[in-house]
A and B are shown apart, each in its own frame.
Chain A
Amino acid sequence: MNAATVIAVIAIAAILFFAARYLYKEKKKGNHCVGCPYAGSCTKHNNTGGCS
């Protein structure tokens, strides 16, 4: 296994891990619509815990 392969495996694992962790954290915060331009300032999100 060459160095490029090792780096690629680590990079893929890291990218997916951080993406999944971000989604998990947002969901835990009550933001059910990650990527919605209003997700952070959604009225329902602030008061009743999520748009959905």
Chain B
Amino acid sequence: MRIAFAGNPNSGKTTMYNALTGRSEKVGNWGGVTVGSKEYKLKKEFAGDKEVIAVDLPGAYSMSPFTPEEGITSEYVRTANPDAIVNIVDATNLSRSLFFTTQLLELGIPVVVALNKTDINEKEGTKIDAEKLSQKLGCPVFKTVSTENKGLSEMIAKAISLAGTIQTAPYLQADINLHDKAAVDAEDRKRYSFVNDIVAEVETRKVKSAESTTADKIDAALTFPIVGILVFAAVMFGVFWISQTWLGPLVADWLVGWIETFQGWVAGQLENSPAILSALLADGIVGGVGAVVGFLPLVMVMYFLIALLEDCGYMARVSAVMDPIFKRVGLSGKSVIPVVIGTGCGIPAIMACRTIRDERERRATSMLTTFIPCGAKIPVIALFAGAFFSGAGWVSTLCYFFGLVLIFLGALLIKAITGYKYRKSFFIMELPKWKAPSLKFAFKSMMERAKAYIVKAATIILICNTVVQIMQTFDWHFHVVEEGAENTSILASIASPFAILLIPLGFGVWQLAAAAITGFIAKENVVGTLAVVYGLTAFIDTEELAMTGGANTVAMTMGLTSVTALAYLFFNLYTPPCFAAIGAMNSEMKSKGWLWGAIGLQLCTGYTVAFLINQFGTLFTEGHFAAGFVPGLIAEACMVAAVILIGKRVRSHFDEQYELHRKVVKEGAAA
């Protein structure tokens, strides 16, 4: 037996689905979080002995799809014949929600209405007569609060009992020509009028929709272009300062203390064992993984704070303020959502691009969204901010805002290459009501990500660090590399050719090249590999109770200046993401040309940014260009030439099409 969960965006479908199935699908306090359908068995406490499958569908405003995810919903309820539909209705916005409800009721499939978010209505003094609404719609109506599991058992029991029955519709669409836009519009207006009549009878509001409340005034300020962006910058600075300068390192210190003690103990136990064993176990596995895990508290605090911002409704306001800028550079207003999601992980961010209708905008967004540093890059940022910039909070803020700037510049470049012209497009996004963020939700979100982080550290990063340690310990004849002859190791010989390419960027040494390469497997690997190749396992100073800062061991061992450290950090942040994210890009773009274009663009961006920072940074600080300026300039010239050639090639296709068209016209005229 299958029950479909359908409703408007941000009505709480996935939250209800999670509560009923025990799953932990991604939820967010804005529309468009769910981009595909998901299925899972209902918990026994709700389904009893029956096997009931719940199907969570993306949000839709109507059965006539406007966006791809709305298409998934309308196609599913039309063709998959679920046994019942649970229509989740946002009780705080009844008139808008019931339009879709009346359409679902026409399908003949039994519908149960879940009047969700009734707790917010109670706070606002809005009353809905559920019994009367049920009579008017001709289907059962239950008041529910998904976040508190209220009303779910009764609602789901009713849905199960109705399976197999035929639903009657309170409103039937007239037999009109669906190709006639005017007729469809007129019919929609009739349906709205029918819905509004019902709402007028069942709902009493203390605060009228047209009244301007304090929340409306706050929204007006936060979505005003300049104020909104400044507030966003201040908020993000606060998030980074708390997570990476204050609270994060404070907790990390305690964790690192334990890891160091354990590492020391392991090394002590292996005093009389072969050195390779101590290097593998104490330095490679415990030290390398420990270096990454040491940053876990910073990541957790940041995820916690971001979850609070998402849950209270602030991130939706950020989307609204960014929308006009994104449109101007040739992206969709909806491109904002992947960028916001991208602060967590690039893969769901790339998947979220699916909500963008236009193919070019969708591909361009999935190509650019990973310029926003994801959670895996936090340890890299924190390490370099701590070691070279005394843990300054501005470094993280700069990384994120510079990522945004690169998205805009990249979008302008794609716009120029593809010959795109600005056109008016619409981005409909409801601003969810402000609410006190749920600590439980934020804690859960933080723990889920922490678990994933630990799993990654204990699997991919552990194996990578072991391989790196082995490659560093042995030469190609499998002899242990002598002290002072590290350049003969397998790792050094593989990474050295790449290191030559990095000389113009200021970090042309094999250790840093090896760390950057392993970063493509998982970005945390950059930290893990640096720990292994430099024998630095404690990046957090346990005595100072803070991130290591200034001219400390880490900075001295790596032999980087502040300028080259920033160049190396940016190189790792803005070159292509991990392979998994590249795979997600491949799935979303569905074009090898665009995929290779994306990888090329990201490689060139990372290289160019690092080159400019290193060369001009050195010029400003030391009065001369850094080593490799001319070769770097040649590499840059090659990149520019490649962009021009690709642009010409893309445009020549337009010309070919145009020529063909003209021939057809000429032939037609001759005939």
B79 interface residue (CB < 8 Å to A): no
Q: Is A35 touching B277 in the complex (CB atoms < 8 A)?
A: no
A 5-48 to B, binary, CB cutoff 8 A, 1 in contact else 0: 10011011001100110110000000011111111111110110
Is the beta-carbon distance between A46 and B38 smaller than 8 angstroms?
yes
Give the contacts of B271-289 with A (CB-CB under 8 A).
272-274, 277-278, 280-281, 285
- Residue in A5, A22, A44 with the greatest tally of chain B CB atoms within 10 Å: A44
Q: How far is the CA of A22 from the CA of B459 in the complex (A)?
A: 7
Does B25 interact with chain A (Cβ within 8 Å)? yes
Contact B452 A37 (CB under 8 A): yes
CA distance A33 to B351 in the complex (A): 13
Q: Are A38 and B348 closer than 8 Å at their CB atoms? A: yes
CB–CB B583/A32 < 8 A: yes
Residues of A within 8 A of B442 (CB): none
Quick check: B281 and A8 within 8 Å, CB to CB? yes
Shortest Cβ gap from A37 to chain B (Å):
4
Taking A8-B277, A36-B345, A52-B586 as contacts, is the C-beta distance between A43 and B452 under 8 angstroms? Answer: no
CB <8 Å contact, B35 and A43: yes
Are the CB atoms of A42 and B274 closer together than 8 Å?
Answer: no
Chain B residues lying within 8 Å of A38, measured Cβ to Cβ, are 26, 345, 347-348
Given contacts A4-B273, A38-B345, A51-B347, contact A33 B584 (CB under 8 A): yes
**Stretch touching chain A among B5-13, B232-240, B460-468, B625-633:** B460-468
Q: Which B residue sits closest to A5, measured CB to CB?
A: B273
Shortest distance between the CB of A5 and any CB in chain B (Å): 4
Chain A residues lying within 8 Å of B23, measured Cβ to Cβ, are: 41
Contacts of A8 in B (CB 8 A): 269-270, 273, 277-278, 281
Q: Which residues of A contact B285 (CB under 8 A)?
A: 12, 15
Is there a chain A Cβ closer than 8 Å to B34's Cβ?
A: yes
Cβ of B617 within 8 Å of any chain A Cβ, yes or no, is no
Distance to closest chain A CB from B470 (angstroms): 11
Contact A51 B270, beta carbon cutoff 8 Å: no
The interface residues of chain A lying within 8 Å CB-to-CB of B580 are 32-33, 35-36, 51-52
B438 within 8 A of A: no
CB contacts under 8 Å to A, within B25-43, are 25-26, 34-39
Q: Is the CB of A19 within 8 A of B462?
A: yes
Picked from B34, B277, B280, the residue with its CB within 8 Å of the CB of A43 is B34
Does B197 have its Cβ within 8 Å of any Cβ on chain A? no
| B449 is an interface residue with CB less than 8 A from chain A | yes
Tell me whether B455 and A43 are in contact (CB under 8 A). Answer: no
Contact of A12 among B24, B281, B351, B584 (CB under 8 A): B281
Main secondary structure of the interface of A (DSSP, over half): helix
Q: Which interface class (under 10, 10 to 19, 20 to 34, 35 or more) fits A?
A: 20 to 34
Complexed CA–CA distance, A44 and B272 (Å)? 51
Closest A-chain residue to B58, C-beta based? A43
* Given A4-B273, A19-B459, A23-B459, A36 and B36 contact (CB-CB distance below 8 Å): no
When distances are taken between beta carbons in the complex, the residues of chain A under 8 Å from B24 are 40-41
Whether A37 and B375, one on each chain, are in contact in the complex, defined by CB atoms closer than 8 angstroms, is yes
Q: How far apart are the CA atoms of A32 and B35 in the complex, in Å? A: 19
Interface residue from A2, A16, A52 paired with B584 (Cβ < 8 Å):
A52
Residues of B within 8 A of A41 (CB): 23-26, 38
Q: How far is the CB of A51 from chain B (nearest CB, A)?
A: 5
Contact with A along B404-440 (1 / 0, CB 8 A): 0000000000000000000000000000000000000
For residue A51, which residue of chain B has the nearest CB? Answer: B584
A4 touches B460 (CB 8 A): no
With A2-B272, A19-B459, A35-B522 known as contacts, the answer to whether A12 contacts B280 (CB < 8 A) is: yes
CA gap between A44 and B456 in the complex, in Å:
20
Q: How many angstroms between the C-alpha atoms of A10 and B26 in the bound complex? A: 39
| B587 engages A52 (CB within 8 Å) | yes
Instruction: Collect the chain A residues with CB atoms within 8 Å of residue B453's CB.
Output: 35, 37
The docked-state distance in angstroms from the alpha carbon of A40 to that of B452 is 10
Question: How far is B462's CA from A20's CA once the two chains are assembled, in angstroms?
Answer: 10
Contact A42 B351 (CB under 8 A): yes
A20 to B278: give the CA distance in the assembly, Å. Answer: 21
Residue of A nearest to B463 (CB): A19
**B448 in contact (CB, < 8 A):** yes
- B258 CB contacts on chain A under 8 angstroms: none
Question: Measured between alpha carbons, how far is A16 from B25 in the docked complex, in Å?
Answer: 30
Q: Is the CB of B583 within 8 A of A2?
A: no
In the complex, whether B458 has a CB less than 8 A from a CB of chain A is yes
Q: Which of B39, B272, B277 contacts A46 (CB 8 A)?
A: B39
CA A11 – CA B165 in complex, angstroms?
61
Chain B 152-180 residues near chain A, CB threshold 8 A: none
Interface, chain A (partner B; CB < 8 A): 2, 4-5, 8-9, 11-12, 15-16, 19-20, 22-23, 32-44, 46-47, 50-52
Q: Could you give 23 example pairs across A and B, Cβ below 8 Å?
A: A8-B269, A8-B273, A8-B281, A12-B280, A15-B285, A15-B462, A35-B580, A36-B580, A37-B345, A37-B375, A37-B452, A42-B348, A43-B34, A43-B35, A44-B584, A46-B38, A47-B37, A50-B583, A51-B347, A51-B583, A51-B587, A52-B584, A52-B586
A-B interface, 10 closest residue pairs, ranked by CB to CB distance from nearest:
A52-B583, A35-B456, A43-B36, A33-B580, A5-B273, A37-B452, A37-B449, A41-B25, A51-B584, A19-B459
Known: A12-B466, A22-B455, A36-B347. 7 other contacts (CB 8 A): A4-B269, A15-B462, A19-B462, A23-B463, A35-B452, A35-B459, A43-B35
